[in-house]
Amino acid sequence: MPRFKIIPENPSVNFLGRRIIFFAFSALLMISSIVLFSVKGLNYGIDFTGGIMLEVKTVQPDQISILRGRLSGLGLGSVELQEFGAPDDVLIRIQRQPGGDAAQQLAVSSAKAAMGDIVSEYRRTELVGPKVSDELFMNGVYAIVSAMLAILIYIWFRFEWQFGLGAVIALMHDVISTIGIFALLGFEFNLATVAAVLTIAGYSINDTVVVFDRVRENLRKYKVKPMDELLNQSANETLSRTVVTSLTTLLALFALYFLGGSVIRDFSFAMIWGVLIGTYSSVGLAVPLLLHMGISRGNADEDTAVERV
């Protein structure tokens, strides 16, 4: 029985021939993301802005509209409600109130009084202060920057500096575009999203390293083949592995997005976008960049197979 193949046996996609299109698309994507971030900004979650978070269990399911109506008249500013895994489990976020801890406690008391007998159980009450939120935000930034620097050093030592630079450019492309899509859609950006960005960085660099490893092998094997053909061959030889790995990862992520509940929906969306854009950048951006970086083929006298064409 013939096997089902997503990618043909010997693909011959001309990635290098389309590199100008890829570069233009990636540049447009990054510029748009930076503009969106600068103009519209991110919808920071309570982790980064500070405020009040209440998780409650209602007497009956589907009471969000009633709760919203009661809380909106309290003058507490921005109040967000969403289901938290079950129709009778509701997560309530209230923006930080002017004043100190006493003002936050007063807001909690007012919210509880307004919800009244609709709520059967208060499962969680959290107060996030401005100092903690600032620290969490800066720690998130440090985590992302540190991860990218560590990846640059790792690729540099494992391959050459050109490979490291190409990988980090592709990685910055993935991270910036993820931030841009969150700014565009207004999804909440919180610590879970930072975790998603770091996971995207690891996933993307894993794909890139696989392709770079094949490029390095072919650089030693083919001494006279034109560089654009060699890079195309390397990308095509790893294309099946790249696509199949991404598809299997996406199957799990789509299940999380549609069935995992609202609490991890934004995280799942970030991961889905990251897998898609990371797969593209590994073969459409990182590999074509090597053509313009003067990578070395190694010592011509090495005892390796040499193609004579």
The span from the CA of 83 to the CA of 132, in Å, is 26
With contact defined as beta carbons under 8 Å apart, do 204 and 281 qualify? yes
The span from the CA of 269 to the CA of 218, in Å, is 36
Average pLDDT, the chain: 84
Same domain? For 37 and 103 the reply is no
Same domain? For 140 and 279 the reply is yes
With contact defined as beta carbons under 8 Å apart, do 174 and 278 qualify? yes
Query: What pLDDT was estimated at residue 233?
Result: 92
Same domain? For 285 and 218 the reply is yes
Give the domain range for residue 214: 16-43+133-290
pLDDT class of 29 with cuts at 50, 70, 90 = very high
Closest-CA residue to 167 (of 240, 133, 216): 216
Q: What is the CATH number of the domain that holds 61?
A: 3.30.70.3400
Residue 240: inside a domain, yes or no?
yes
Question: Using one digit for the tens of pLDDT, what is the confidence trace for 220-278?
Answer: 888 888 999 999 999 999 988 888 889 999 999 999 999 877 668 888 999 999 999 99
Domain count, the chain: 2
Same domain? For 107 and 201 the reply is no
